[in-house]
Amino acid sequence: MVTNQRELTLEIRTADCYPVLLADTKNQAVAAIHAGWRGTAAGIVPTAVEKMAALYGTHAGNLVVAIGPGIGPCCYEIGREVAQQFAPMLMQNRHGKLYLDLAMANRQQALQLGVAESQIEVNGVCTFCQAEQFYSFRREKEQAGRMRSLIGIA
Ligand SMILES: [Zn+2]
């Protein structure tokens, strides 16, 4: 979702997937993105930035990006079919199992678009590990609640 309307607040609900929030501080526009592995593999962050460019004249150099919290590479075990979608540098192999760093995948995409490294905040806290702080779909299955991530223009 993208908007430049001050009366709107965009909200993403997640439990392990990553919320990615974008703010174009020059043209006063924002985006709220739900980035699971499918969306990330499909380039949902670049797609949102293209949309913001078309609608609001956004340049990646004017973006501030917030990524997470979501499931971390400590816990996000993936199968081969998911692994095929991502560059090897985004995965860790521990005891023959593959773990994906989905935050890093989205960060890399933002960097490739031209977002300044200093303008990207990766929360870095794992929703699966931190049971007292966060909901986790992998941990709680259908019982999992959702975290709300919101962005608007003040
Ligand atoms: Zn973890």
Domains and CATH numbers, the chain: 2-152 (3.60.140.10)
Distance 138 CA to ligand 1 centre (A): 11
Q: What is the pLDDT of residue 59?
A: 98
**Contacting residues for 81 by C-beta, under 8 A, at least 6 apart:** none
Give the phi and the psi of residue 33 in degrees, each rounded to 5: -125, 135
Tens of pLDDT, residue by residue over 111-127, are 999 999 999 999 999 99
Tens of pLDDT, residue by residue over 6-47, are 999 999 999 999 999 999 999 999 999 999 999 999 999 999
Q: What is the pLDDT of residue 33?
A: 98
Hey, what are 69's tokens? Answer: 């919290």
Give the phi and the psi of residue 9 in degrees, each rounded to 5: -120, 130
125: region left, alpha or beta (phi > 0 left; psi from -120 to 50 alpha): beta
Which residues of 36-146 form beta strands (DSSP E)?
63-67, 77-78, 91-94, 97-100, 120-122
Distance 127 CA to ligand 1 centre (A): 7
Distance 129 CA to ligand 1 centre (A): 4
CA separation for the pair 31, 51 (Å, rounded): 10
Residue 53 CB-density burial (10 A; 0-12 exposed, 13-18 middle, 19+ buried): middle
Q: What is the pLDDT of residue 55?
A: 98
Distance 143 CA to ligand 1 centre (A): 19
Distance 130 CA to ligand 1 centre (A): 7
Distance 134 CA to ligand 1 centre (A): 11
* Cβ < 5 A residues, ion ligand 1: 72, 74-75, 126, 128-129
CA separation for the pair 84, 99 (Å, rounded): 12
The answer to whether the CB of 45 falls within 8 A of the CB of 84 is no
Residue 82 CB-density burial (10 A; 0-12 exposed, 13-18 middle, 19+ buried): middle
